Chains A and B, each alone.
Chain A
Amino acid sequence: MTDARTLIADLASAIAGGGIEIVDLTNLLSPDFPVIVLPSEFGQCEPFRMETVSRYDGNGPAWYWNNISMNEHTGTHFDAPAHWITGKDVPNGTVDAVSPQDFFAPAVVVDISAEAAADEDFIVTRPFLEAWEQANGPIPPRHWVLLRSDWSKRVGTLSYLNLRDDGAHSPGPDADAMRFLVHERDCVGLGVETVGTDAGQASHFDEPLPAHSILHGNGRFGLQCLTGLDRLPTFGAMIVAMPLKIKGGSGSPLRVAAMIPA
Chain B
Amino acid sequence: MTAARERRDPLARKKLRHVPSGLRSRAMHALSARAAQGRFALQACTECGTATHPPRNACPLCWGELAWTDQPSGAKVLCETTIRVSTDLYFREHMPWRMGKVLLDAGPVALVHLHAALHPDDRADVRMMIDRGGNAALFAVPAGDTDLMSDPQWREFIVPIEGRIVLVSDARNAVGRAMVKELHAKGAELVVAGLPGPALASDATDAVLTLDGVQAIALDVTDATSVAEAASRIGGPLDIVVNTARHVRAGGVSANPGFVEQRRAFEVSAMGLSRLASTFAPMLAGRPNGAFVDVLSSAALVGDAAQAGFAAAEAARHSLLQSLRHEMRGAGVRVMSVFTGPVDDADHQAVPPPKVAPARIAASVAEALLNGREQTCVGDVAQDTMERWLTDPALLAREKNL
CB distance from A163 to the nearest CB of B (A): 5
In the complex, A30 Cα to B224 Cα: how many Å? 12
8 A Cβ contacts from A154-175 to B? 158-159, 161-165
Q: A101 → chain B, closest Cβ, in Å?
A: 34
In the complex, residue of chain A having the shortest beta-carbon distance to the beta carbon of B229: A32
Bound form: Cα–Cα A133–B300 in Å: 63
- A46: chain B residues at CB < 8 Å are 260, 264
Binding site for A on B (CB under 8 A): 197-204, 218, 220, 222-226, 260-261, 264
The segment out of A19-27, A47-55, A250-258 that lies at the interface is A47-55
Residues of B within 8 A of A35 (CB): 198
Shortest Cβ distance from residue A59 to the other chain B in the assembled complex, whole angstroms: 15
User: What per-residue 1/0 map shows which CB atoms of A39-74 lie under 8 Å from chain B?
Assistant: 000011011011100000000000000000000000
Q: Given the complex of chains A and B, what is the CA–CA distance between A49 and B223 in angstroms?
A: 6
A47–B197 touching, CB < 8 Å: yes
Q: Which residue of A lies closest to B223 (CB)?
A: A31
Q: A31-B226, A32-B197, A49-B223 are contacts. A164–B202 as well, Cβ < 8 Å? A: yes
Q: Tell me, yes or no, whether A37 is within 8 Å of chain B by CB.
A: yes
A-B pairs with lowest CB-CB distance, top 7: A31-B223, A31-B225, A158-B201, A158-B199, A161-B198, A43-B260, A163-B200
Chain A residue at minimal CB-CB distance from B260:
A43
- Name the B residues within 8 Å of A159 (CB-CB): 201
Most chain A CB atoms below 10 A, which of B204, B222, B223? B223
Cβ contacts under 8 Å, A44 to chain B: 260
Interface SS, A side:
loop
Report the minimal beta-carbon distance from A139 to chain B, rounded to whole angstroms.
34
Q: In the docked arrangement, what's the CA distance between A158 and B201, Å? A: 6
Taking CB atoms, residues of chain A closer than 8 Å to B203 are 158
On whether A34 and B260 interact (CB within 8 A), knowing A47-B223, A49-B222, A49-B223, the answer reads: no
Interface residue SS majority, chain B: helix
Considering the complex, give the chain A residue whose CB is closest to the CB of B203.
A158
Q: A47 to chain B: which residues have CB within 8 Å?
A: 197, 223
Min CB distance B231 to A, Å, is 15
B347 CB, min distance to chain A CBs, angstroms? 10
**How distant is A124 from chain B, measured CB to nearest CB, in Å?**
24
Query: Which residues of the other chain, A, contact B200 by a CB distance below 8 angstroms?
Result: 158, 163-164
B392 to chain A, nearest CB (A): 38
Q: What residues of A have a CB within 8 angstroms of the CB of B226 in the complex?
A: 31-32
**Chain A residues, CB < 8 A from B199:** 158, 163
List 6 A–B pairs whose Cβ atoms lie within 8 Å, in order of A's numbering.
A31-B220, A32-B197, A32-B223, A49-B222, A49-B223, A161-B198
Q: How far is the CB of A54 from chain B (nearest CB, A)?
A: 14
Taking the closest CB of chain A, its distance from the CB of B87, in whole angstroms, is 38
**Contact for B201 among A49, A50, A51, A162, CB less than 8 A:** A162
Chain A residue nearest to B263 (CB atoms) is A46
CB-defined contacts of A31 to chain B, threshold 8 Å: 220, 223, 225-226
- How long is the Cα–Cα vector from A159 to B204 in the complex, in angstroms? 13
